[in-house]
Amino acid sequence: MTDLADIRAAFLDYFAEEGHAVVPSSPLVPRNDPTLLFANSGMVQFKNLFTGVETRDYARATSAQKCVRAGGKHNDLDNVGYTRRHHTFFEMLGNFSFGDYFKEEAIPYSWQLVTGKLGIDPSRLLVTVYHDDDEAAALWKKVAGLPDERIIRIATADNFWMMGPTGPCGPCSEIFFDHGEAYWGGPPGSPEEDGDRFVEIWNLVFMQFEQHEDGTRTPLPRPSIDTGMGIERVAALLQGTNDNYATDLMRALIEASAHATNTDPDGDGRTHHRVIADHIRSTSFLIADGVLPSKDGRGYVLRRIMRRAMRHAHLLGARDPLMYRLVPELVRQMGAAYPELGQAQALIEETLRGEEERFKTTLDRGLSLLDAEVAELGEGEPLSGEAAFKLYDTYGFPLDMTQDALREMGREVDLPGFGSAMDAQKAQARAAWAGTGEVGETALWFDLVEEHGATEFLGYDTEASEAAV
Ligand code: ATP
Ligand code: MG
Ligand code: MG
Ligand code: MG
């Protein structure tokens, strides 16, 4: 019982038996929330049930939700290639109570599922609770028999969840797995918590307060439960690794990438293959859910992921479009669970290939320019804002892609310089347009930038508000 299909079925069956409605994943583009870029947790499709705006014929539900965290408040794009446990696309398993059961049931459910149904060794588990949540701490002690040192009290926002500036909120409790002394890292709350040893697998949110405009909190009359478990992390630990990219699914994608580029999956290009394996999932799933590459908003986030992947393919020596060739393997791996992938396969392949063909020439030239610019820099000197802007404006390099390239070399972009170069170009373009009286695309562009701000228009921090588990 170690692959995704088995884990997903075990989770959903467990909660179905406990009277939960099994609700299918919502699309990645949220229907009920225009301020949110992508579904980034299981609770997104249930927001209106938690606030009481909507009721359905069930008060408890379970789901396996497609999530993308590649923009806005929950952005793991920069973690990919650097950690073993973050993806831009992943699947979140969750159980939800809409004013039905609360902590007294949610904690035993999770413990029973993890140690019973999934068979995870209880002696490898530890949990966190919000520092003042004595109730949760007592329940963990009673239900799981965990000693005090494995019930860690955390006082930071990591363990207090809020849906937004106002609305439902409450303490969280996270379940961690200890992969053992062979790995560097410390328990949550310690300075080494971001190491590879202790990995968060499940987050339980206890929605018990309502946050008001004036900053006060009152208890919710009917508290709710919202949980999220990362299926890839659980698959990794059940497969005896702390590295999501070593699991059968990710490994198949990495091998497809190695095969298509005729390179060693574990050689110098190891990180490139990992990034590509991640990005083929997020780009394909986004396209399957109707997102197409574009200059702004969701489409620009997609384009940024695509272009980042293309740079990594280029570094592996690929001179012809690569990403579209990996789609069949992805469909083989995930098409059964997500039929929309197979249905959209032709569109996904065409979109990836078209984008790769269009970007190829400027990618090659831009990367040469970047190399030349970097060669001129002194030790630790950032890349000038003008150079980064030229890469953006002339060569189509999203800023974060340039930053990603520089990070490998231990360098950064001069961001204020980038902003000034952008402003200067806008002013110049405006002057050139003044007096023509024409209303065209460019005028529209300025309106949009004015309305939303340049950074938002570029696809950064596109959300006004964002909620996740
Ligand atoms: P982390 O602290 O590891 O970044 P998180 O606290 O941001 O995780 P939550 O928002 O609590 O994550 O999401 C619930 C669960 O989803 C996590 O416990 C984890 O198992 C999984 N998860 C979160 N982000 C990712 C990701 N980028 N890739 C894969 N799984 C993830
Ligand atoms: Mg996170
Ligand atoms: Mg966390
Ligand atoms: Mg968490």
Q: What is the tens place of the pLDDT at every residue in 47-77?
A: 999 988 899 999 999 999 999 999 877 899 9
Protein residues within 5 Å, CB atom, of ion ligand 3: 200
Count the helix, strand and coil residues of the chain and give each as a percent rounded to the nearest 5: 50, 15, 35
Could you tell me the distance, in angstroms and rounded to a whole number, from the CA of residue 342 to the centre of ligand 1? 27
Q: What is the DSSP-derived secondary structure letter of residue 281? A: H
Q: Is the pLDDT of residue 111 over 50?
A: yes
Which CATH number does 4-244 carry? Answer: 3.30.930.10
Across residues 163-177, what is the average pLDDT?
Answer: 94
Neighbouring CB atoms inside 10 A of 53's CB total 9
Q: How many angstroms separate the alpha carbon of residue 192 from the centre of ligand 3?
A: 14
Residue 174 contacts residue 188 (beta carbons within 8 Å): yes
**Torsion on CA atoms 167, 168, 169, 173, rounded to nearest 10:** -160
- Distance from the alpha carbon of residue 158 to the mean position of ligand 3, in angstroms: 6
Give CATH 3.30.930.10 domain extents, the chain: 4-244
> How far, in Å, from the CA of 284 to the mean position of ligand 2?
22
Kindly report the protein residue whose alpha carbon is nearest to atom 1 of ligand 1.
200
Residue 9: phi and psi, rounded to 5, are -65, -40
- Nearest Cα residue to atom 30 of ligand 1: 230
pLDDT at position 459 is: 40
pLDDT one-digit tens code per residue, 328-376: 999 999 999 999 999 999 999 999 999 999 999 899 999 999 999 999 9
Across 420-441, average pLDDT: 73
Q: Whose CA is nearest to atom 29 of ligand 1?
A: 86
One-letter amino acid identity for 60?
Answer: R
**Ion ligand 4 nearby residues (CB, 5 A):** 203
Q: Whose CA is nearest to atom 10 of ligand 1?
A: 469
pLDDT at 8 over 70: yes
Distance between CA 310 and CA 77 in Å, rounded? 15
The confidence score (pLDDT) of residue 461 equals 36
Reply yes or no on whether the pLDDT at 80 is more than 90. Answer: yes
User: Of 141, 131, 124, whose CA–CA distance to 198 is shortest?
Assistant: 124
Protein residue with its CA nearest to atom 7 in ligand 1: 74
| pLDDT higher than 70, residue 239 | yes
d(Cα 26, Cα 104) in Å, to the nearest integer?
28
Residue 108 has pLDDT above 70, yes or no: yes
Nearest atom in ligand 1 to the alpha carbon of residue 201 is 20
Helix H or strand E segment including 437: none
In percent, the amount of the chain with pLDDT more than 70 equals: 92
Residue 12, pLDDT > 90, answer yes
Ligand with smallest separation from the Cα of 38: 1
Closest by Cα among 394, 376, 301 to 71: 301
Kindly give, in sequence order, each residue whose CB lies less than 8 Å from that of residue 468, ignoring residues fewer than 6 positions away.
40, 41, 43, 44, 69, 73, 74, 228
Q: What is the dihedral of CA 92, 98, 102, 106, to 10 degrees?
A: -30
389: left (phi over 0), alpha (psi -120 to 50) or beta: alpha
Residue 65 CA: distances (Å) to CA of 26, 74, 200, 323, 424: 7, 16, 18, 24, 43
- Residue 238 and residue 232: Cα distance in Å, rounded? 10
Distance 51 CA to ligand 4 centre (A): 21
**Nearest ligand atom owner, CA of 199:** 1
For the chain, percent of residues with pLDDT exceeding 90: 84
Pocket of ligand 1 (CB under 6 A): 41, 69, 76, 85-87, 90, 92, 200-203, 228-230, 232-233, 468-469
The answer to whether the CB of 204 falls within 8 A of the CB of 225 is yes
Cα of 73 from ligand 1 centre, angstroms: 13
Which residue is closest in CA terms to ligand 1's atom 4? 86
pLDDT at 409 over 50: yes
Q: Which residue has the higher pLDDT, 310 or 456?
A: 310
Nearest CA to ligand 1 atom 2: 200
State the ipTM, two decimals. Answer: 0.99
Collapsing DSSP to helix, strand or coil, 337 comes out as coil
208 CA distance to ligand 2 middle (Å): 22
CA separation for the pair 311, 6 (Å, rounded): 35
pLDDT band at residue 305, thresholds of 50, 70 and 90? very high
**Beta-strand runs (E) in 107-154:** 125-130, 151-154
Across 126-140, 192-206, 230-244, 429-443, least confident range: 429-443
Q: Which of 193, 200, 281, 285 to mutate to test the pocket of ligand 1 (most atoms within 8 A of CB)?
A: 200
Q: Is the pLDDT of residue 96 over 50?
A: yes
Using DSSP's 3-state secondary structure scheme, residue 130 falls into strand
- Rounded CA-CA distance 57/60 in Å is 9
